[in-house]
Structure 1
Amino acid sequence: MSAVSNAAARARTALQNRIATRYHLRGEIDHIDATADATQIAQQLSTREFPWGFTQSLSFALFRTYASPSIGNLLYDTKQFTEHTQKRYDDTVLLLDAPIEHGFDSTEGRAGVRRINQMHAMYDISNEDMLYVLSTFVVCPVEWINAYEWRKLTRHEIVGLTNHYRSLGKHMAIKDIPQTYEEFKQYYDSYENAHFAYSAQALAVADATLDLLGTFMPYRLLPRPVVRRMSFALMDDRLLNAYGYPKPTGVERVLVRGGLKARGLAIRFFSSPRTEPLFGRETKMVRGYPNGYRLEDLGTFTPGTGCPVPHAERTPSEDTHPAASNS
């Protein structure tokens, strides 16, 4: 009996040590300044603590934006998201990852943001739409990680992430950027309630994105209709209604969401923490540049003759998309 008790005690100690090791990076992040070094917090969370979760959540964030016709229709008209889906995915990941990896003040960080601004300047995009896209980068990772990852984010980490994306918004010359996560969430909800609507063009962009998802591991091992149903099970009714997608059954939601939660628990108890960062350029889903790339060459360079989507005439003061002077 004593031997059994000793074995159980050793097992409990081993488990406690493993859990303490898993939470070590959280302790390090707690000592990073969430204002002055916000990008460092974003880097640690996205490349070491939750690399898979961040990749999924930011992909889902961009997917949500298509449900606003002013955004989805524009992306459809550029043809980039329907005819060159893998390249657009790769370029988006690499450009957004440059300041995460190198910082906004680095040569690479400035080049990434400059390229984003140059592309946006080709089209007539409202500040309202730009701010909504930015809000998805803030809200979707927090909601995804808190729902499915092996631990929830601390308040300190949420503040750091929010401040990182506030910096991105400033470098993109976006106006009226919210100050806090809660303000971003309020804007995110109010925008979606006001603007989400069905659009055949936006649906085509969404379908192309889901088709690309089916080519990634482990989804490529499953039939494409199954991957779509799994995707629907992760969507809220507001998003499903905007795309006209069928609502999943309760069983589908439980199985898919429960599977993600089970993955998080398995990582918490059985997986060792990542010691080296995994940057976006190193992920297996970025496949279009086996021989390397230059940030200056990413994205689109189609000669602009005006935005392909008609908008109401705007005053010069509403033009919010020149390259930021400090980028």
Structure 2
Amino acid sequence: MQRYDRLKEILRLDPDQDFLAIYRLTATCEFPWDFARALELALFRTYAVPSIGGLLAETAEFTERTQKRYDDTALLLDAVVEHGFDSDTARTAIRRVNQMHRSYDISNDDMRYVLCTFVVIPSRWLDAYGWRPMTHHERRASANYYTALGRHLGITDIPGSYEEFEATLDAYEAAHFGWDEGARKVADSTLDLMASWYPAPLAPAVRRGGLALLDDSLIAAFRYEAPNAGFRKLVQGALRLRGRAVRLLPPRRAPHYARQNPEIKGYPDGYDVGELGTFPVPGGGGCPVPHPRRPAGAEAQPPA
């Protein structure tokens, strides 16, 4: 297989009908490392909306159990990518996400914004740092994939194209990014988590590197000290250099899913999708309706 053969395969597919297949090939074969980093950044951006970041702080899940929340979020989202919307595993994952979201007063606008980040941020990341940019074909498929996911999550007024997703994201951030003390704690905990994945002597540099990847609007919203311009250029240059190096490598022959990422730490012996996430206690500030701990159709996943 040559370097661009898989792209040729992608371009032979229909982005309106085969959007899952295209998105799976793009995310797990062409750019698995980049998608992991871009989706981390996408979730990080959502903290800068006070109604989102503040709620996450109130639940304490992203400050006291940060690794588990990271693992569960990645695994639930990726279950749909790996198994497809019609599988028992994906239906269980979507059910779990819906059960958690319905336990809190989350607006449709906030949910739609989060969906927009999943569509737009990977494309922008690849434009900046990927071994190639996403094609219009892939962006269209990504928009269609997340439109389908959004409908399964009960989100309404979903943008109708990649361009509309992008415009919605930019407008929402301009209107809603702002300071929230709890959101800053969530952001700090997330940066600390990412630093913890590396040897302790490297942790401060990793944290600085993470801050260097935040744009000025995020730096301002979280009231972080602006990164040194030279260091920011160094980090961004290193990522661009990595992209050029990856372009010279042979293509990946097998898909790489989130459950195989070394950053997923909490399930060395495998996991059950139906057990991922939180289970709010009736009468304890969560959803007043009891939910079964192991929804029917859950499938155990092997360790990576």
Q: TM-score, normalised by structure 2?
A: 0.91
Letter in 2 for 1:73: G
Contact 2:115 2:150 in 1 (8 A): yes
**Among 140, 147, 158, the residue aligned to 1:159:** 140
Partner of 2:254: 276
Q: CA deviation at 1:248?
A: 1.4
Partner of 2:221: 242
Alignment of 1:106 onto 2:87: yes
Q: 1:228 to 1:23 in 2, by over 3 A?
A: same
Partner of 2:169: 188
Contact 1:123 1:306 in 2 (8 A): no
Contact 2:15 2:141 in 1 (8 A): yes
Contact 2:196 2:203 in 1 (8 A): no
Letter in 2 for 1:240: I
Partner of 1:93: 74
- What residue ranges of structure 2 are gaps of 5+ in the alignment? 287-304
Letter in 1 for 2:145: H
Q: 1:283 to 1:257 in 2, by over 3 A?
A: same
**Among 115, 119, 127, the residue aligned to 2:108:** 127
> What is the CA deviation profile of residues 252-310 of structure 1, one whole-angstrom value per residue up to 9, with x for unaligned ones?
121000000000001112x11100011111111111111111111110002144868xx
Q: Give the Cα–Cα distance (whole angstroms) in 2 for the partners of residues 33 and 50 of structure 1.
A: 20
Q: CA deviation at 1:224?
A: 2.7
Letter in 2 for 1:192: E
> What is the CA deviation profile of residues 213-266 of structure 1, one whole-angstrom value per residue up to 9, with x for unaligned ones?
0122xx436533322221121111101000001111221121000000000001
Runs (4+) of structure 1 exceeding 2 A deviation are 219-225, 304-308
Partner of 1:293: 271
Q: CA deviation at 1:136?
A: 0.4
Q: Give the Cα–Cα distance (whole angstroms) in 2 for the partners of residues 274 and 251 of structure 1.
A: 34
> What is the CA deviation profile of residues 161-216 of structure 1, one whole-angstrom value per residue up to 9, with x for unaligned ones?
11101111010010100011111111111111111111110000011000110122
Alignment of 1:116 onto 2:110: no
The alignment's C-alpha RMSD in Å is 1.4
**Among 280, 297, 301, the residue aligned to 1:302:** 280
Contact 1:233 1:256 in 2 (8 A): yes
Alignment of 1:266 onto 2:253: no
Q: Give the Cα–Cα distance (whole angstroms) in 1 for the partners of residues 285 and 156 of structure 2.
A: 21
Partner of 2:234: 255
Q: Which structure has the bigger radius of gyration?
A: 1
User: How many residues of Structure 1 are paired with residues of Structure 2 in the alignment?
Assistant: 286
Identity %: 50
Q: TM-score, normalised by structure 1?
A: 0.85
**Among 178, 181, 199, the residue aligned to 1:200:** 181
Q: Give the Cα–Cα distance (whole angstroms) in 1 for the partners of residues 105 and 234 of structure 2.
A: 42
Partner of 2:210: 231
Partner of 1:176: 157
Partner of 1:214: 195
